[in-house]
Structure 1
Amino acid sequence: MQRLLIACIRFYRLFISPLMAPHCRFYPSCSSYAVEALQKHGSLRGSWLSIKRICKCHPLNDGGYDPVPSCHCHPTELTLSRHSSND
């Protein structure tokens, strides 16, 4: 799914974006942000972050630097400590 979404963004960059005037108010651009979000966070969360970012892209928002948030991965494995059996 992630590859398909990134392919759609690349299609947009190659064939649709050149037809419009460059006017992205954010850095990185929304399409770059979306690709990075998908690669960092996966299809579901990456899509959600991309949609939120695109919704912020309007004339009332000043834009500026808006990086993809860090991955807040939750540990799913137990951390086992080594104990010596020197009793």
Structure 2
Amino acid sequence: MLLDRAARGAIIAYRYTLSPFLHLVGVRCRHEPTCSAYALEAFAKHPPLKAARLTAKRLGNCRPGGTWGYDPVP
């Protein structure tokens, strides 16, 4: 439970602090929903370790040559 709350808190903090600055320099998410929205949904639907694994896999695809487009949480 603590891991779940800590992860959600970190994601929300990222969304409201760092993400707006990244958008100013032109960095945008390649997926729909955004990676932070995907992570929040993954933590809402799955146990913390599985959600962390899904989120890490998704973040690993956010690179040149990675995937893009619609990618819902399974």
Q: Which bracket does the TM-score occupy, shorter chain normalised?
A: 0.7 to 0.9
The residue type equivalent to 2:55 in the other structure is S
May I ask how many residue pairs the two structures share in their alignment? Answer: 69
The residue type equivalent to 1:3 in the other structure is R
Gaps of 5+ in 2: none
Structure with bigger helix share is 2
Runs of 4+ with >3 A deviation: none
Query: Normalising to structure 1: TM-score of the pair?
Result: 0.75
CA distance in 2, matches of 1:18, 1:41: 27
Gaps of 5+ in 1: 70-87
RMSD over aligned CA atoms reads: 1.0
Identical-residue share of aligned pairs (%): 42
Secondary structure, aligned partner of 1:20? helix
CA distance in 2, matches of 1:56, 1:62: 6
Query: Normalising to structure 2: TM-score of the pair?
Result: 0.87
* Larger relative contact order (CA 8 Å, sep ≥ 6): 2
Which residue is equivalent to 1:33?
A: 38
